[in-house]
Structure 1
Amino acid sequence: MVNEGKLSKRVRLFRGAFVFLSWTLVACIVVQTYIAGMAVFQEPSRWSMHVSFVHIFEFIPLLMIAFAFAGRMPKGTGWLSFALFALIYCQYFTANLPAAGALHPVLALALIVLSLIVARRSSRYRGGGIVP
């Protein structure tokens, strides 16, 4: 694999930004799920917060795509980031189409699993080569 000393500071910076964004996305998805749980089990008025909160993090995967390529992350990392964006986009359809509503929590599960895979995978490449 690429040695850390051979990567420019710029590439290491982009990789670090990618790792930060990937773990930020994981945290946001967990918070989003918690807000949905509060709306279901405690206070239905929390749905407005659930609907609004997604706008804070919905474009993080697009930034991740850019940083994946700028940081010369391993092949497929940019495509996985695109898949995260596509899943978030699909959430809008399942939330607004009654026939697809049951898929909304299923896609949320896929979203958290994929975001964890991307975050764990990217953490191995922070700053340079593979981090043990």
Structure 2
Amino acid sequence: MDFVHYFQYLPLGLFPLALIGRVPRGLKLLPVGLVLLIEVQYVTSELFGSLVGAIHPVSAFIILWTAMHTTRRAWDNT
């Protein structure tokens, strides 16, 4: 089992918790964006050749930035 399989569904759990916790709309949608970015990681690493595979590290950086941005906004919102 790969490393990503341990936490790939974590953002899916964050979305219902955000709905229950009355979080602002922007913070509700960021976990959904993280799920989509993780799917982009799968697509760029498995399905296409090296040309599209070059996007793989860029999307990894975007995932990192989005996770940090989500955490910072959630922290400032409390």
1:85 aligned partner, one-letter code: V
Please, which of 61, 70, 79 is the counterpart of residue 20 of structure 2?
70
Q: TM-score, normalised by structure 1?
A: 0.55
The equivalent residue for 2:36 is 86
Alignment partners' CA distance in 1, 2:77 and 2:29: 16
1:110 aligned to 2:62? yes
Shift of residue 74, structure 1, vs aligned partner:
1.1
Q: TM-score, normalised by structure 2?
A: 0.90
Which structure 1 segments of 5+ residues have no match?
A: 1-50, 127-132
Shift of residue 100, structure 1, vs aligned partner:
1.3
Contact 1:93/1:100, CA 8 A, preserved across alignment: no
Alignment partners' CA distance in 1, 2:29 and 2:64: 16
1:78 aligned partner, one-letter code: K
Cα root mean square deviation, aligned: 1.3
Q: Whose radius of gyration is greater, 1 or 2?
A: 1
What's the % identity of the aligned pairs?
34
Q: Deviations over 1:17-76 (max 9, x none)?
A: xxxxxxxxxxxxxxxxxxxxxxxxxxxxxxxxxx70000000011011111111111112
1:72 aligned partner, one-letter code: R
Alignment partners' CA distance in 2, 1:83 and 1:113: 12
Higher relative contact order, chain-length normalized (CA < 8 Å, sep 6+): 1
Q: Deviations over 1:68-118 (max 9, x none)?
A: 111111112121110001000110000011131000000001000010000
Contact 1:61/1:81, CA 8 A, preserved across alignment: yes
Please, which of 54, 61, 71 is the counterpart of residue 119 of structure 1?
71
Greater than 2 Å deviation, 4+ residue runs: none
